[in-house]
Amino acid sequence: MIQPAKPELVTVNIDGQEVEVPKGINVIEAARMVGVDVPHYCYHPKLTIAGNCRMCLIELGMPAVDRATREPIMDEATGKQKINWIPRPQIGCGTNVSPGMHIKTQSDMVKECREGVMEFLLINHPLDCPICDQAGECKLQEQATGYGRGYSRFIEQKNVKPKRTQLGPRVVLDDERCVLCSRCIRFSQEVAKDDVLGFVDRGSYSTLTCYPGKELANNYSLNTVDICPVGALTSTDFRFKMRVWFLKQTNSIDTESSVGANTVVWSREGVIYRITPRQNDEVNDTWMADSGRILYKQVQSDDRLLPAGSLADNLAAASALLKDGGVAVVGSGRSSVEEQFFTARIAKQLEAKSCIVARHGEGDGILVSADRNPNTRGALVTGLITGLPATELTELAADIDAGAVKTVLVVGEDLTAAGLSADQLAKVNIVYLGFHANATSAAAKVSIAGLTVFEKSGTYINQQFRLQKFASAVPGLAGATDDRVVLAQLLAAVGGETTGSDLASVWSALSREISVLDGLAYAQLPDTGLLLDSTAWSGLAFPEGETLHYQPATAEATA
């Protein structure tokens, strides 16, 4: 576990309180650290400073020093160093703290500035909140209530702008609601590296648009919806489906690659409505790929494996086949650490070879890596595999052809996608556990319906060897059983040591048996994960290239 270096601190005075804050951060962040809210629109901690909304104006003063001698000038009345207040308000977002800086966030001037900006932002705003999807998470609504005057002095005609522009396949723009903060533009340029958005026209007629012939179609386009402070950018998938205040938020992990972007799953009454990124400055900042946001659709997808028979019968049938010998185990890089742990134990109990199926794609250099399994590292840590997995199970195929395998336990994977032929499948008994139906489940002697990541809890280990937890957002499919529980019971059924299948019990076994997990407990894992000691696997040539906050070890070595 690597501890970040302690930042250098400076003392500043915020609204009369002397506080210590890290050097170099801006006034908004400094104030935030001591619980003071400096309202803002255009500032976003992960984007460059634009300074255009002017909502964050504050009063700023510096300790007075004599120009010639550099001696402090004292205030006779207070006995303290005199403060030179700048007569004009300054932007908090663009002002970095320095020693002795004095900041007023509550003065009359600051209040007046905020009232002014709020009034200006609302005069041409359509005020269509009742039909706006942003209601409930709209900064304009919140700050109008908190910092506005509460009435309007505007009697002129409002500007008219385009109301429904499809910027790309997933994002819709309402220009009348846009406060021209340029967050979406900066995101496209700086993070997505796809410079397609800009303003046309000028003054109050400025209008956000895509460059001619371009569209906002990159795999990060929905982040613009997340960071748009108002209802100007909305998601085609989510808009008009549900008011956000009805939704329950559950922390989860994006399973589309080994990056493991941290996410929030938004659900109501067992139905998921959207997935958004959750801030983790070591992994994904505040971003995630669009492709990871639609994964919730697998919960209600047509190809889900539906439960058949009772779990007890299925387990009995499965264990009978497995105990008969000649077993091979195909685990999964999509399974949780806990599931992989049980899978590995079953393999060990049965003295079976175990493997997982590698899944490779092109890394995008941002938040989708080349390793499309979320938990390859977990398979290594739990001992399910000892080297890097392959995309094709050639060894298993050869063993089947040689008649060395009678039964294959398959967790979640489709063997035909991993290079096995229908003939080879037909030669063996298959015990399948997973949430979707495929050629392998169809060929299985015993198939047990499992759950999606959204219906269960556990941990993954990402490309950085960061152990990250996810929690179940919605109840599992009726009749299906948590994969972890199924595997624990299967282990017991084939004669293995019985461990409780609840997370606390599994983790006491994990921390006892796996040295890099020593001393850890599920309940104590921080929301942003924990970096594990990965030296044991440093020799492996992992397929990932560079992504946000991740430099592959091999690249470092060759650089």
Among 101, 181, 191, 451, binds ligand SF4 (CB under 6 A): 181
Please give the Cα distance from 181 to 40 (Å, whole number). 10
Please give the Cα distance from 403 to 45 (Å, whole number). 60
The contact pattern for ligand FES, residues 64-103, with x = CB under 6 A and - = no contact, is ---------------------------xxx----------
Choosing among another protein, ligand SF4, ligand FES, none, which partner's interface includes residue 208 (Cβ < 5 to 8 Å by kind)?
A: ligand SF4
Neighbours of 273 (CB within 10 A): 17
The contact pattern for ligand SF4, residues 215-254, with x = CB under 6 A and - = no contact, is -------------xxx-xx---------------------
Choosing among another protein, ligand FES, ligand SF4, none, which partner's interface includes residue 56 (Cβ < 5 to 8 Å by kind)?
A: ligand FES
- Quick check: helix, strand or coil at residue 423? helix
Cβ burial of 525 (10 Å; 0-12, 13-18, 19+) is middle
Q: In sequence order, what E strands does 306-374 have?
A: 327-331, 353-356
Choosing among ligand FES, another protein, ligand SF4, none, which partner's interface includes residue 147 (Cβ < 5 to 8 Å by kind)?
A: none
Smaller CB distance to another protein: residue 45 or 94?
94
Question: In the complex, what is the shortest distance from the CB of residue 172 to ligand SF4, in angstroms, rounded to a whole number?
Answer: 11
- Residues 35-54 within binding reach of another protein (CB under 8 A): 49-54
Please give the Cα distance from 489 to 483 (Å, whole number). 10
Nearest-CA neighbor of 275 among 302, 247, 245?
247
Please give the Cα distance from 159 to 290 (Å, whole number). 33
The contact pattern for another protein, residues 381-420, with x = CB under 8 A and - = no contact, is ----------------------------------------
Smaller CB distance to ligand FES: residue 203 or 213?
203
Q: 231, 239 in Cβ contact below 8 A? A: no
For residue 228, state whether it binds ligand FES (rule: CB under 6 A): no
- Residues 349-378 within binding reach of ligand FES (CB under 6 A): none
* Radius of gyration of the chain from its Cα atoms, rounded to whole angstroms: 28
For residue 110, state whether it binds ligand FES (rule: CB under 6 A): no
Smaller CB distance to another protein: residue 53 or 517?
53
Question: In the complex, what is the shortest distance from the CB of residue 233 to ligand SF4, in angstroms, rounded to a whole number?
Answer: 5
- Residues 496-535 within binding reach of another protein (CB under 8 A): none
Among 64, 123, 244, 388, binds another protein (CB under 8 A): 123
Q: Which helix (H) or strand (E) holds 188?
A: helix 183-190
Smaller CB distance to ligand FES: residue 53 or 491?
53
Contacts of 95-98 spanning 24+ positions with Cβ under 8 A: 95/26, 95/27, 95/58, 95/60, 96/24, 96/25, 96/26, 96/27, 97/10, 97/12, 97/21, 97/23, 97/24, 97/25, 97/26, 97/27, 97/30, 98/10, 98/12, 98/23, 98/62
Residue 326 in tokens: 């000649």
Question: In the complex, what is the shortest distance from the CB of residue 53 to ligand SF4, in angstroms, rounded to a whole number?
Answer: 9
Q: 492, 345 in Cβ contact below 8 A? A: no
Among 88, 163, 243, 512, binds another protein (CB under 8 A): 88
- Give the 3-state DSSP-derived string for 487-514, with helices as H, strands as E and coil as C: HHHHHHHCCCCCCCCCHHHHHHHHHHHC
Among 125, 183, 274, 334, binds ligand SF4 (CB under 6 A): 183
| Chain centroid offset of residue 173 CA | 24
For residue 67, state whether it binds another protein (rule: CB under 8 A): no
Question: In the complex, what is the shortest distance from the CB of residue 45 to ligand FES, in angstroms, rounded to a whole number?
Answer: 11
Smaller CB distance to another protein: residue 3 or 157?
157
The contact pattern for ligand FES, residues 30-49, with x = CB under 6 A and - = no contact, is ----------xxxx------
Please give the Cα distance from 480 to 451 (Å, whole number). 7
The contact pattern for ligand SF4, residues 70-99, with x = CB under 6 A and - = no contact, is ------------------------------
Q: Which helix (H) or strand (E) holds 292?
A: helix 290-293
Question: In the complex, what is the shortest distance from the CB of residue 175 to ligand SF4, in angstroms, rounded to a whole number?
Answer: 8
Contacts of 26 (CB under 8 A, 6+ apart): 43, 49, 92, 93, 94, 95, 96, 97
Choosing among ligand FES, ligand SF4, another protein, none, which partner's interface includes residue 195 (Cβ < 5 to 8 Å by kind)?
A: none
Smaller CB distance to another protein: residue 114 or 359?
114
Please give the Cα distance from 492 to 3 (Å, whole number). 40
Beta bridge mates, 99 = none
Q: Which stretch binds ligand SF4 (CB under 6 A): 176-184, 444-452, 455-463, 471-479?
A: 176-184
For helices 483-493 and 311-323, angle between their N-to-C axes, nearest 10 degrees? 50
Question: In the complex, what is the shortest distance from the CB of residue 173 to ligand SF4, in angstroms, rounded to a whole number?
Answer: 6
Neighbours of 265 (CB within 10 A): 27
For residue 178, state whether it binds another protein (rule: CB under 8 A): no
Residue 191 in tokens: 């993070």
Question: In the complex, what is the shortest distance from the CB of residue 106 to another protein, in angstroms, rounded to a whole number?
Answer: 17
- Quick check: helix, strand or coil at residue 341? helix
Please give the Cα distance from 222 to 132 (Å, whole number). 17
The contact pattern for another protein, residues 189-208, with x = CB under 8 A and - = no contact, is ---------xx-xxxxxx--
Please give the Cα distance from 14 to 58 (Å, whole number). 10
Residue 418 in tokens: 């991993």
Smaller CB distance to ligand SF4: residue 225 or 381?
225
Binding residues for another protein, rule: CB under 8 A, are 49-55, 57, 87-89, 91, 94-95, 112-113, 116-117, 119-121, 123-124, 153-154, 156-157, 159, 179-180, 198-199, 201-206
Binding residues for ligand FES, rule: CB under 6 A, are 40-43, 51-56, 91-93
Binding residues for ligand SF4, rule: CB under 6 A, are 178-184, 208, 228-230, 232-233
